[in-house]
Structure 1
Amino acid sequence: MTTLTAGVVLGLMSLSMATLPAQAQENERSAPQYAPTMLILDASGSMQRPDSAGTMMDSAKNAVRSFVAAAPAESQVGLTVYGTGTGSSEAEKTEGCSDVQVLRKPDTLDRVALTGAVDGIHASGWTPMGNALRQAADVLPNSGPRSVVLVSDGDDTCAPPDPCEVARELKRQGVDLVMHAIGFAVDGKARAQLTCMAQATGGTYTDAADGPALERTLPRVTAAALRNYKAAGTPIAGAPTYAAAPVATPGQYLDTIGQKETRYYAVDVPDGATAYFSGTVSFPRIPDIESSKDNNVVQLRVYGADGRDCNEFEFEQATKSSDGVALTVAQAFDGAKEKRDGKNVDADKCKGGGRYYFAPTWDKVSKGVPERLPMELLVGIEPAVTDPGPVAVAPLTVFTQPAGAGAPAVGGGSFNVASALDGSGRYTDSVQPGEFVFYRVKLDWGQGLAYRVRYGANGGRGVENISNVSTALYSPTRERIDSDFAAYTGTEQVLPSSRDALATVPIRYGNRTSDTYEHRTQSVAGWHYIAVKLGSTAAEGDNLPVPVQLDLTLTGTPEAGPKYADAVTAGIFGENAPSAGAGTEPTGGVTSTGDRLPDAVADNAAAVDVGTPDSGSSTAAIAVVAAGVALCCVVGWLVVRRRRR
């Protein structure tokens, strides 16, 4: 049977996430962690060149002030500057090339102190970018994700150390630091150097041609640095053939995948069990990519004994990947439930218990992406059931409007650090342009939820402030259940716009037998995820933050759930295993390096980063909104899911 579904969502981080299971995050996290972030500001003599605000330094100060005013109160932001202590003559070069000052450490945001430090900067000296990056890394915390945002109007004038080599050196040392670079009216040489620094750490490079462009760009890039998608999992190295595939037991893993590459992983599936496998690739934010060149496709195939193609094929496609899409392809494989009949030897290789091979492929590649990207992998084994519990699909959850001002809930920058919501009620947050934030709600068997999102007015007006807003609801396996989108022009917008709420039916094992695709996604109890997205403001906009209100209804009395034929004390996804396993030996001699959810995810600690090449080998949707006599297009992407059984 072949099923094709398509959905157009403007600017949502992912329209088909399906990674780490909800049950795998039992440890509560009171609030998501922002990545401590250091701004490095160029104050060399060349920043005295004239610009729209007076000088380029004046424009840079305005950009920093705009970011500081809008930054989340819980964020940790520091400020480093170079070039303020000397002149730029040759006689002052030795002193000027060590002229790096940490004006503010990356502590919890102090708007007054940070703005005051910015106001006191005077540009005059040299450009020691390499030394500045080293000192910024030294001041940032010793562990966990960290970010640097560097603004420079030229290349390093003090090498050695070469700034790109410093970035590579930090990465080789295992420093979990991502650097984003902004070139402020730079030439080709400086652009190449800044791009090299950013790419060496897995970050992004952005051009800002003038002061107004910098004022739009800096808050956007820095907001992304604070709440960015971070891949996590136990390291594993997929193989180029099924015969050499590592055997993965239930848990979340982290690998990398290259352009046009297929990687194989083996999973031992008992008789009657359901196997879950998913792969998530998060694409970096890249400015100014044409929509026709901004598509990515990830495929997933399943193979049985002797590499037999089991005719189980999934693919996920996302256009506008340069907005930072995290694209997931997922498979719930139930071939082990089928009995071998002995009549067709080849067909029997994909039936019953045994070793199966899951092979994700990064098939279609957009322009400008790195050669390799991190890929999260999820493996789960659900035993056969002796009693599935209630079979009939119940009606959708009825939404009830809550009252009151609401409780603060700061969304996380990825599924791995989604902020927990405590059931029915109203929750408030604020999102920056270009941000994707995530929340989670725990549903037991028999429970359902319904929610709506209200984007408040932010004072922006006119077509230059247009962006897009969207939201999506995901299952514990991170498979999309429902979504909605709309244009946003600075006035209040509610999603969904044509119905009361996005909602689930009561969660039941038997829902997976429904004829309705959405109901089949609602057959696993545990954490369900809500994604909220605010698109990047149009080119001439003000990049103002937007207040967000989530109204949530959770209903239903918890049910006993299904009865399994075998005990699942370690959890379907290995989330309850007492310690990480040593892995098992695959047929090709490659050993898996873990078998459970890593503590880094369960405890909201630092995620594993293997985003280096050492680990192994469209449709555009346009919403046109009239405002006055002008038109502005909001571009999202189309995600297409194809399932063949």
Structure 2
Amino acid sequence: MRGRWCTARERRAGAWRGGPSAAVRLGAVAVVLGTTTATVGPAPAAGAAGDSARAATPAPYGFAEGARTVDGARSTADAPRLTLGTSYRSSLPSSGKVSYALDLDATSSAYVSVTAVPPAGSGVSVIDGLKVSVQDAEGNSCSSDTANFGAARSPHPIAAWGVREISPVKSLCQKAGTYYVSVERSDPEGEGSSPGPWDLELLTVTEPPAETGATSAPRVWDSATPQPRQGTPERRRGGAGFTRATPLDEGVWRDDIRPGQTLFYAVPVDWGRQLSVTAELGSSDSGGTGYASGALDLALYNPARGRAADVSVGYDGDQNSGSLPPLPPVDHANRYAATAQVGAMRFAGSYYLVAHLARDVADSFGDGPFPLTLRVRLGGEARSGPGYTGKSRPEGVFDVSEQDREAAVEGVPASGDDTLMRMVAVGGIGTGTALLVGLGAWTLTARRRGAA
């Protein structure tokens, strides 16, 4: 096996025979991180000693590391300019709009995703949520999108996107120039809504033009509800944000979720593949009674973090499940569809599954955690894409690389030194041991460099 890293499946079959260099690299990462392996990879299974680290109070949203801080302006005249391909942190007041500016060319489509994070313990109404709109310098509307919290009225991270799309079938918003992104709450005065500000995470993404492509959506695709994926669930802990989403491959995955908690997963979906997902909330052992409407919310976001589909699952203490509505195969031409759900399936890349368990579930069934099972199926055959004439910003957003596929098998994000991170996350080596090995690793590395 020398010369490549083993896959998770090979490790489960006992096929890994890592050499000394693997141990050296693992120890080196432990020294660099100076932390336990639990912070970089999947945590122990529920019921294990490490499970006590998952406190009754859900962890806060994990913002993008290194995100720039920016203050939105009340007037578009003062709107700060956002750099394309960059993540930002901002805030949204309880009332009124905040605006940001984009400088766009006349060839690339641009997407701005805004994730709103209400404070823990805040109140939201049924129709309270986030509204994101884009206008050109002449005041023409390019797009508008709204995301709501739903019937459960449980505050959690939600995302909406703004779109400036270059299209042969559109006449507005096609010029180069300054565009404005406006963000506001959809119902700040609603019954039960808290007046405090919300944190925001913004991501700007550009999509280059395609070399060839259709100008209408595919007319025929298999819209039958697929059979949920069967098999023995494997443990896979969800992340705390979009940039910290845990990769998932096709399969059956088990996690634990607490009331008020939101978990993020990323599924790489190539051109031509058709994604289907079923979520199951396991039975409670608390002995509680009652019914929680919309207890579990599962939302699907595309690689630009545009909401594609969602499903809500009620809960009475017994097991219940729900499936995302049938989705078309990923196709560049889906953007010309009349429905937003089909139109969102326009890119290859990482599709995000965001699971939230309503905080009111605790009132009847306790603090949990509650068993969550995700059945992920990928139909169809992967094929070549539209042939982009340039690169996206950030680069690789609309691609599925070999590293992405490997990360989905391992369950560790393919970012940074992903090979080393996977070694730390799944190597099963203790922190103290890793540190000791790491000291030797640095010594060995220094000697080799000196000899070179």
TM range (shorter): 0.5 to 0.7
Distance 1:529 1:330, change over 3 A: same
Compute the displacement of 1:417 (Å): 1.9
1:419 and 2:246 correspond:
yes
> Pairwise CA RMSD of aligned residues?
3.9
Q: 2:237 aligns with which of 407, 410, 417?
A: 410
Match of 1:204 in 2: none
1:240 paired residue number: 74
Q: Is the 8 A contact 1:258 1:373 kept in 2?
A: yes
One-letter identity of the residue aligned with 2:289: V
Instruction: Please give the residue correspondences for 1:611-630 in structure 2 after superposition, counting only pairs within 5 Å.
Output: none
Cα distance in 2 for partners of 1:470, 1:420 equals 19
Report the counterpart of residue 205 of structure 1 in structure 2: none
Aligned counterparts of 1:528 and 1:542: Cα–Cα separation in 2: 32
Equivalent residue number for residue 102 of structure 1: none
1:5-56 per-residue CA deviation (whole Å, 9 max, x = no partner) reads xxxxxxxxxxxxxxxxxxxxxxxxx9876999xxxxxxxxxxxxxxxxxxxx
Q: Partner residue of 2:154?
A: 323
Structure 2: give runs of 5+ residues left out of the alignment. 1-36, 400-412, 419-452
Asked if 1 retains the 8 angstrom alpha-carbon contact of 2:273 and 2:380, the reply is yes
- 1:516-565 CA-partner distances (Å, limit 9, x unpaired): 33111100111112223333335354333322222221123222111234
Whether 2:269 is the aligned partner of 1:443: answer yes
Partner residue of 2:351 out of 528, 533, 537: 528
Distance change >3 Å, CA 335–CA 473, structure 1 → 2? closer
Q: How does 1:556-635 map to 2 (within 5 A)?
A: 556-568=380-392, 571=395
Task: Go from structure 1 to structure 2 and tell me whether the alpha carbon gap of 1:515 and 1:31 turns closer, same or farther (over 3 Å shift).
Answer: farther
* Number of equivalenced pairs: 360
1:380 aligns with 2:205: yes
User: Which secondary structure state, in structure 2, belongs to the residue aligned with residue 264 of structure 1?
Assistant: strand
Summarize the alignment of residues 223-372 of structure 1 with structure 2, pairs less than 5 Å apart.
223-225=56-58, 227-232=59-64, 233-248=67-82, 249-286=84-121, 289=123, 296-305=128-137, 308-310=139-141, 312-318=143-149, 323-334=154-165, 350-362=173-185, 364-365=187-188, 369=194, 371-372=196-197
Using a 3 Å threshold, how does the CA distance of structure 1 residues 321 and 477 change in structure 2: closer, same or farther?
farther
The change in CA–CA distance for 1:522 and 1:299 in structure 2 (over 3 A counts) is same
Alignment-derived partner of residue 196 in structure 1: none
Counterpart of 2:335 in structure 1 is 512
Structure 1 counterpart of 2:75, one-letter code: T
Cα distance in 2 for residues equivalent to 1:311 and 1:554? 33
Letter matched to residue 230 of structure 1:
G
**% of aligned pairs identical?**
23
Between 227-236 and 390-399, the greater mean CA deviation after superposition: 390-399
Determine which of 478, 488, 491 is the counterpart of 2:318. 491
Written as runs of structure 1 = structure 2, the 5 A alignment for 1:59-74 is: 74=50
Structure 2 SS opposite 1:387? coil
Please state how far the C-alpha of 1:325 moved relative to its aligned partner: 2.5
Q: Which amino acid aligns with 2:56?
A: A
The verdict on how the C-alpha distance between 1:601 and 1:359 changes in structure 2, with shifts beyond 3 A counting, is farther
Per-residue CA deviation, residues 195-248 of structure 1 (Å, 9 max, x unaligned), is xxxxxxxxxxxxxxxxxxxxxxxxxxx4334x3323332222333332333322
Give 1:431's aligned amino acid: I
CA contact (8 A) 1:286 1:323 kept: no
Distance 1:556 1:574 in 2: 18
What is the TM-score normalised by the length of structure 2? 0.67
3-state DSSP class of the match of 1:539?
helix
Relative to structure 1, is the Cα distance of residues 564 and 285 closer, same or farther in structure 2, using a 3 angstrom cutoff? same
Secondary structure of the 1:323 match is coil
Alpha carbons of 1:73 and 1:431: their partners in 2 closer, same or farther (altered >3 Å)? farther
Taking a change above 3 Å as real, the CA distance of residues 515 and 604 of structure 1, as seen in their structure-2 partners, is: farther
Deviation at 1:452, TM superposition (A): 1.2
Decide whether the 8 Å contact of 2:134 with 2:163 is kept in 1. no
Equivalent AA in structure 1 for residue 57 of structure 2: A
- How far apart, CA to CA, are the structure 1 residues paired with 2:257 and 2:244? 16
Change (3 A) 1:563 1:433: same
User: What is the CA–CA distance in structure 1 between the aligned matches of 2:261 and 2:394, rounded to whole Å?
Assistant: 35
DSSP 3-state at the match of 1:378: strand
Rate the CA distance shift 1:385–1:435 in 2: closer, same or farther, 3 A.
same
Letter in 2 for 1:235: T
Correspondences of 1:207-226 after superposition (within 5 Å): 222-225=55-58
Compared with structure 1, are the counterparts of its residues 363 and 549 closer, same or farther at alpha carbon in structure 2 (3 Å cutoff)? Answer: closer
The CA distance in 2 between the partners of 1:364 and 1:314, in whole Å, is: 14
Give deviations 1:306-364, integer Å, cap 9, x for gaps: x5343644444445686222232312222686898xxxxxx7xx442222121222353
Q: Report how far residue 513 of structure 1 moved.
A: 0.9
Contact 1:447 1:555 in 2 (8 A): yes
SS at match of 2:341: helix
CA distance in 2, matches of 1:263, 1:75: 40
- The residue identity in structure 2 corresponding to 1:299 is K
Question: Counterpart of 2:349 in structure 1: which amino acid?
Answer: G
Contact 1:34 1:75 in 2 (8 A): no
